[in-house]
Amino acid sequence: MGYGKYIAYRLANMFVVLIIIVLVSSALFYTAGEVYIWEMVHSNVNAAVTAYVKENPTATEEEIKEYREKQEKLWISYYGLDKPLWYRVLMTSYRMLTFDLGKALILRTPEGKSDVLSLIMDRLPNTVLLFTVGDIIVMVVGIYLGFKCAKNVGGFLDRLISTLAMITYSLPMWWTGMIMIMIFAYSIPNPLNPRKGLFPSGGIQSPNVPPDPLIRFADFLWHLTLPLTTLVIVSFGGWAYITRNVVLGTLQQDFVMAARAKGLPERKVLYGHVLRASSPAIATMCLLSIVSSIWGAMISETVFNWPGLGNLMWMAIATMDIPVLLGAVYISTLLFLITLLVVDLIYGLLDPRIRVGI
């Protein structure tokens, strides 16, 4: 198969998967949330009727009944409940595929906007600053330590990292975050202000921070330190252990033994042959990790009260704001599928055997 046909095949496969996921998620969310939407309709109608009666104390029961029916039709039409479920699912899926994510039912941006896309874009930078930056630090540290462990298998560093990996990888980030908050936000006092902890327990900015840019940036770093440190502590051991095993598998290949038999320096064998051969698997892990990090961690962001996308999804679940949930699922799925497509295309370009086998 030529590379052009390979690209077309992968693109078609990505769109088919995307359409299926959008249809399934729309059907599931609307089926689960329809009862809640009807409750919102009744609540809005009752509120409108109550306000109407206060404004028109002489209104008859017939007039009140007509007004109630008018409000019910208005709100039922607003939420699309006058259409069959299958029609709503198909129309919602079509709008999502065309990036018309609609308006949130309850949630709003700090500026008061209800557009789902605005809500997502308002939270995205905060999650990128925490999780994406944290994952990049974890990758650099983990890959470096993993390569060092593979070079000296059975040594002190190898045993230490393997032990740390088993310990840290089994610790949930949200639980570790709670321990870190208990220690550094409540147990250890701040030298500059003993009534406060060494680090804040949550949030992204202090409420009364001065408008000076340098002070605001320092305050932001002060809030970022605790969740970022927690993320690095929990994740770096697993990355180091995985990298170690990938490099060890490459070291046992025949071409490595042949390179050593030729008398090549060990440094050139490691960095010129082993690292190059191991890089596709490591690059794949890096790409997928970065894309996953864009959407943060729902419980962890809630623990640190970090205003990111994970926290947004948690709030959307708590309030049953279906358009926000659907928009977040669609954007995250699209980013993930695009990343897989890029990885497949790179592999197909580097190794013709992959596209021939399709």
- In DSSP notation, 99-129 reads T---B-SS---TT---BHHHHHHHHHHHHII
What SS3 class is residue 2?
coil
Mean pLDDT for the stretch of residues 19-41? 80
Of all residues in the chain, what percent carry a pLDDT higher than 90? Answer: 0
Q: Looking at per-residue confidence, does 288 or 161 come out higher? A: 161
Q: Quick one: tokens of 316? A: 């959307």
H or E segment and range at residue 75: helix 61-78
**What average pLDDT is seen over the chain?**
81
pLDDT per residue as tens digits for the range 327-345? 888 888 888 888 778 777 7
- CB 157, CB 149: distance < 8 Å: yes
d(CA 215, CA 233): 27
Q: Looking at per-residue confidence, does 326 or 256 come out higher? A: 326
pLDDT for the residue 201: 84
Q: Quick one: tokens of 327? A: 């928009």
Rg of the Cα atoms in the chain = 27
Mean pLDDT for the stretch of residues 98-119? 84
Question: In this model, does residue 165 exceed pLDDT 80?
Answer: yes
Distance set, CA 109 to CA 121, 278, 297 (Å): 10, 44, 20
pLDDT for the residue 92: 82
Q: Quick one: tokens of 44? A: 């809005």
- CB 335, CB 46: distance < 8 Å: no
Q: How confident is the model at residue 204 (pLDDT cuts 50, 70, 90)?
A: confident
- In DSSP notation, 299-332 reads HHHHHTT--SHHHHHHHHHHHT-HHHHHHHHHHH
Q: Quick one: tokens of 179? A: 């321990």
d(CA 56, CA 61): 11
pLDDT for the residue 108: 86
